[in-house]
Amino acid sequence: MRLMKILVLSDIKKWDGYEQLLLKYKPAVTVLAGDLTWDGCAASWTEDWTEALESMPKFRKAKKQLMEQFGVTVTSDVFHQTPFSFPSKRYSAYHSQLHELNQLFRETSFRQIRKRMHVDRFYNFLRHAGARSKVLVVKGNHDSDFAEDYSPEKINNIRGCREISGKRCTVNGVSFLGVGFDDSHSSRSLTELLRKFGKRVEVIISHCEQRHLPVLSELSPKLIIRGHWGLGRYLVNGVLTVMTSNAEYTTITYRSNSIPRIKQFWRSGKPVERNRESCPSGNRLYSWLRPYALDN
């Protein structure tokens, strides 16, 4: 089999810049391992939430009036009058009213802006990636947070893209199985997948909880790619498993007759040189999870 380059993305906070990775690596397969229309974190204090609010003229005007009322500076939200007396009642009152303002706009214009920032960019990326590689997509738990954002039908109607949650497909002779969060959330659904596909898959793409990884390893794949939580390369009952959610992106050089070569990159763009001491918290409780050397 010819060499296959795979680019893996998951748990996306912002879609900015990912198109350039396709031009840089020219993958045969682009894997999107869940939490793509929403990563579950931007609903309260992240940069995305702030960016969404600040893009609303009405919000900026209301916040400016609130800051003037309480004497807060534009740059730091710190009072000119009382620089050494925090937390003061006035300071607490300002932030209480600012919180109410945030919630008001979250229930109105924010939903539309969030869709433009996350959902529309996701589908734009699919169109870009699908014209340049085969794109395999599985559903994450936060892709269900907002109704109708994540649409398998819409994904499948984009050239080169396939939504494979609960499905198997073959690309360039390599069999892939998609295991979305809903497919793996119960032991019953996982058991049904085992019964249906047996040991006829080489690569599993999953957004499962960590405790379900041993069940996936029973399919004896050559590689498990997992979003949802964690970073690094591990052996799950001897099966090579790469966890991708804390990385900016992961590249895999895949051959059926040799060990896949895997590289991961931080959000800063620097390579991940070694596994975290504890991948998801509490991994030392699992006898089936072992670190895998990064120097292959």
pTM, rounded to two decimals? 0.80
245 in a structural domain: yes
Region 102-128: what's the mean pLDDT?
82
Region 48-59: what's the mean pLDDT?
75
- The CATH number assigned to the domain holding 24 equals 3.60.21.10
Region 102-108: what's the mean pLDDT?
74
pLDDT score recorded for residue 74: 53
pLDDT bucket at 27, cuts 50 / 70 / 90: very high
230 in a structural domain: yes
64 in a structural domain: no
Q: Tell me the longest C-alpha to C-alpha distance in the chain.
A: 71
pLDDT(285) > 70: no
212 in a structural domain: yes
Convert the pLDDT of each residue in 212-222 to its tens digit: 999 999 999 99
125 in a structural domain: no
pLDDT bucket at 87, cuts 50 / 70 / 90: low
Vertex 20: Cα angle to 119 and 155 (nearest 5): 35
Count Cβ atoms below 10 Å from residue 104 Cβ, excluding itself.
14
195 in a structural domain: yes
Region 59-78: what's the mean pLDDT?
76
Write down the mean pLDDT value for the chain.
Answer: 84
- Name the more confident of 163 and 275: 163
Domain that holds residue 167: 4-42+136-291
> 122-131, 196-205, 213-222: which has the highest mean pLDDT?
122-131
Strands 29-33 and 4-9 come out as parallel
pLDDT(51) > 90: no
pLDDT(224) > 80: yes
252 in a structural domain: yes
Convert the pLDDT of each residue in 232-251 to its tens digit: 999 999 999 999 987 889 99
240 in a structural domain: yes
Specify burial of residue 218 (Cβ count, 10 A radius: 0-12, 13-18, 19+): middle
pLDDT(257) > 80: yes
Number of folded domains that form the chain: 1
Query: For the stretch 260-289, what's the b/e string if a residue is b when 16 or more beta carbons lie within 10 angstroms of its beta carbon?
Result: bebebeeeeeeebeebeeebbeebeebeeb
- Residues 206, 224 contacting (CB under 8 angstroms): yes
pLDDT bucket at 84, cuts 50 / 70 / 90: very low
Determine the Cα–Cα distance for residues 62 and 57; give it in Å rounded to an integer.
Answer: 9
